[in-house]
Every structure is written in structure tokens, then in C-alpha cells.
Amino acid sequence: MSAFFSDPAGLCLAVTVVLGGIVLCKLKTTLGHVGRQTCLASLVGLWGGACLLSLSLFWGLILFSLSCFLMYTYLPGHKWLPVDQKAVLITGCDSGFGHALSKYLDQLGFTVFAGVLNEKGSGAEELRRMCSKRLSVLQLDITNPAQIKDAHSKVVEKMQEKGLWALINNAGVLGLPADGELIPMADYRQCMAVNFFGTVEVTKTFLPLLRISKGRLVNISSMAGGVPMEGLAAYGSSKAALSMFSAIMRQELSKWGVKVSLIQPGGFQTNIGGTSEMRDKMEKNLLDHLTPDVHDDYGRDYILDQQNCFRCMNTQASPDMSPVLLDVQHAISAKSPLAFYAPGKSSYLWFCIASFFPTAVFDYLNKRNHGQSNLPRALHSLHCKNNAT
């Protein structure tokens, strides 16, 4: 045994095993799917990088041991702050993530202000019926400054000196998935108005309450905000703007004691795409605004096929929203929340591929993953002509 530990590589290996075991034990007590996935992926990546850079087992183990120590030091643990009926404002609670979050946080004991687009709609009525008296439904169209101001007044009136602990910016619109050239400018503007400008205005309005409580700002973006996805030029661009806004606010608000978390979910089944009637209306609007040359180049069949692609994407999405709910809970309740969460199957993997892999590799993998869609009419005709010759 003494001979083994007298060997520097053997000693380093023993230290690595001990530190790695401690980190993995701590991972078991860390809430949230992404916390574990992220750190495990980081451990694997650091191990591989260390071995490649060190050119020897000794230095590879040294670097890996150091990485384990740093991860253990900075890894957020399972330390919860008491609920104490802390107040949380959530936007976009008519359906989807916001609706599920309102119910979940109400069950945990939070005082929930659920902002809805239609306070007389079925989603709002369900929240009133199923949740406790702590939950208040607020009429809150985040593109309407008057409604934002009114919601702020109602929160202040109810909470008084208790303040607001967390703001969860969830409201968003998707628009009709289509090639960027086909999307009407009105759809680009609507995505920016709701997903970015509306969220910024709500944040600016409620930040004084968060600064008083030294609370939490949680912005729910999207995987499309960090991973380029065909058909989502308007939506993805607005979510990318929100992601950058969150990163900057995280730095600026740290001096006030306010912690900012960005959540970029993968594919989940929500109502963000709207009803079939709404999509039919958006499709008609898209066709009506195309110039004749663009319409001829793409062709009606190709354009109409975009909605079939959306239906296919939605069927592949997960109906289980619990990963998002758990990550939001961690963001507002953990003593040391993460700055970034990526709930959803393979979402963190795609963020890594988009961020660190060569562009050509990402494009190839992305096309393989999503498959090749039908070609626009002009390209299809050219393809057929080339094959004939």
C-alpha cells in the first residue's frame, strides 16, 4: 500500500477518486435535472480536456482533481430558504408553464400573483377554483403599460411592507413557424413586443420591489434563444434578446443582492402555438403578405407544409412539465440558484453543440436531427432539372 501511495500518479488517482466521490454525493442532493446533467457533463469534459492537454497521466489527474475541488466549492447545494408565504408574480398564466407554475408554487405555500391575458378565461377560472386563497389572478397583458401599472398597484396594496420576493417572466408568443423570408414583419414585431419589450417593461416596473427584498428575477426564455432553429427566426431572435438582457441584468443586479436566473426549456407541450383556428389565421395572413415573386419561388405547397412541421414538433415534445417546475423552484428557493437552467431532453447538449462545436458540425447535426424538409418550388424544379440532365 505504501509503495502505491509513494508513486505520485497513484496518490493523485486516490485523491481524484475521493474528490470525485464527494462531488457526486453532493450532486445527489442538488435539486433540478439540469444541475446534475450540467455538472456531470462538465466533469466528463474537464477530464477529457485535462488528459489531452497534460500529455501525461500525472498532470491529467492533477487537473481533474483540481476541477473536482472547484466544482465542490461552487456547486449549489440543497439549501432551501423558507417559503414564509413569500410573494411571487408570474406572467402568462392562462396556460402552459405559467398555469402549471401557479398551481405548483401555490401548493408549496407561496403567495402567488398569476398574471393572465384574459381574467375571465377558462385558465383564470381554473386557477381561482383549484388554488388557495393566497393566489390572486391579475389581468396582465404585458404589452399594455396601464395593465402593468395596475398590477403593480395591486401587488403593493396586498403585500404592503412584505414586498415581492420573485418575478417570473413567462409570458410569450411563438407565431407561425416558417422560413424567415416568409414571416410577415408584423409577426417579428409581435414577438419582440411580447417576448422582449413587454418582459423588459414588467421587469423595470417591479424591480424596486425585488431590490427591497433582495429577491429573485427569473426569465423563461427558450432553447430557440440559444440554439438556431429553422422556422423560428422571429421567435428565436426575440428569445435571444431576452437571454442577453437576463445575462446583463444578472451582473447589474448582483450589487443589490438580487439573483437572476435564465431558464431555456427544450421541447414541452404548451399552448404557446395557439389553437388551430389561430394558426389558420396566421397562415392566411402570411400568404396575403407575400410578394408574387416570393410566393412563386417557395410555392403554396411548401408554405402550407410548415404547419405540418409544427404539428410534428409538438407531438415530439414532452407533456411532462415537471423539469421546468423543479428548476423554477430551485431558482427562487435555493440559497445558491444557478444562473442558467436548460430543462428538457437533450436541451443542454444542444446548447453545448451550438456554442462550442464548429458551425459546419452544428449545421450537419441539426439537419440530421430534424430531417430534410421539402424544398421550395424553385429549388425543387432546379433539382429535378439537374437530375434529368
Instruction: Give the torsion sign (CA, 141, 110, 261, 246).
Output: positive
Give the Cα separation of 35 and 340 in Å (integer).
9
Identify whether the C-beta of residue 303 lies closer than 8 Å to the C-beta of residue 178.
yes
Q: Is 4 helix (H, G, I), strand (E, B) or coil?
A: helix
Show contacts of 16-22: CB within 8 Å, 24+ apart. Answer: 16/61, 16/64, 16/65, 16/68, 19/65, 19/68, 19/69, 19/72, 20/64, 20/68, 22/68, 22/72
Q: Rounded distance, CA 104 to CA 99, Å?
A: 9
Secondary structure of 81-142 as H, E, C letters: CCCCCCEEEECCCCCHHHHHHHHHHHHHCCEEEEEECCCCCHHHHHHHHHCCCCCEEEECCC
Residue 113's DSSP bridge partners are 89, 136
Write down the catalytic residue from 235, 302, 341, 348: 235
List the beta bridge partners of residue 80: 334
Return the closest-CA partner of residue 108 out of 90, 137, 88, 128.
Answer: 88
302 given a catalytic annotation? no
| Catalytic residue set | 235
